Amino acid sequence: MLRNPLHFLALGFGSGLAPFAPGTFGTLASIPLYLLLAQLALPYYLAIVVLGFGVGVYLCHYTSSALGVHDHSGIVWDEFVGFWIAMIAVPVTWQWILVGFVLFRIFDIVKPWPVKIADTKMKGGFGIMFDDLLAGLYALACIHVALQLLNQV
């Protein structure tokens, strides 16, 4: 699978093949790319995230079809993009990266409404990507609320 560049990306450069918690390892693997993306001006960052989502729809569909399993646990490109969404306009410090990582993983694992609905009802590459987009938005909202509260102190 890793010899095919499309599968290699969908599997998070191999991070999704971790023997346990592949989504967590996939999210960890997204951090170095986030650190590169975070150097961009916000409009460019957002454009890359949108592009990453669009490409992810194709990658995830392609790899899940090849594996014969919808949303195979090894497919972690959706975690990459979900984490990048969680980190939109967040200060680039290890503390905020840790907060973003933990919050994104919580929302991706717990799947509060409507994340759970998206995860169970939506199929194909879009479905694989969309629940992580929602989990990323939940994490993003929490981080920005925390940032606002800390600015009030």
pLDDT of residue 71: 81
Region 117-126: what's the mean pLDDT? Answer: 85
Q: How many domains does the chain have?
A: 1
CA 5 – CA 140 distance, rounded (Å): 30
Q: In this structure, is residue 121 part of a structural domain? A: yes
3-state DSSP assignment of residue 1: coil
Find, among 51, 14, 48, 17, the residue nearest to 33 by Cα: 48
pTM for the model = 0.94
3-state DSSP assignment of residue 144: helix
Q: Say if residue 153's pLDDT is above 60.
A: no
Dihedral sign of CA atoms 99, 104, 106, 107 in order:
positive
Q: In this structure, is residue 17 part of a structural domain? A: no
Q: Give the rounded percent of residues in the chain with a pLDDT score beyond 70.
A: 99
Q: In this structure, is residue 4 part of a structural domain? A: no
Tokens representing 5 are 């560049």
CA 152 – CA 147 distance, rounded (Å): 9
pLDDT of residue 120: 80
Higher pLDDT, 153 or 12: 12
Q: In this structure, is residue 2 part of a structural domain? A: no
pLDDT of residue 152: 64
Tokens representing 83 are 């984490």
Range of the domain at 67: 23-152
CA 57 – CA 45 distance, rounded (Å): 18
What digits encode the pLDDT tens for the residues 15-57? Answer: 999 999 999 999 999 999 999 999 999 999 999 999 999 999 9
Q: In this structure, is residue 14 part of a structural domain? A: no
Residues contacting residue 146 through CB under 8 Å, at least 6 positions apart:
99
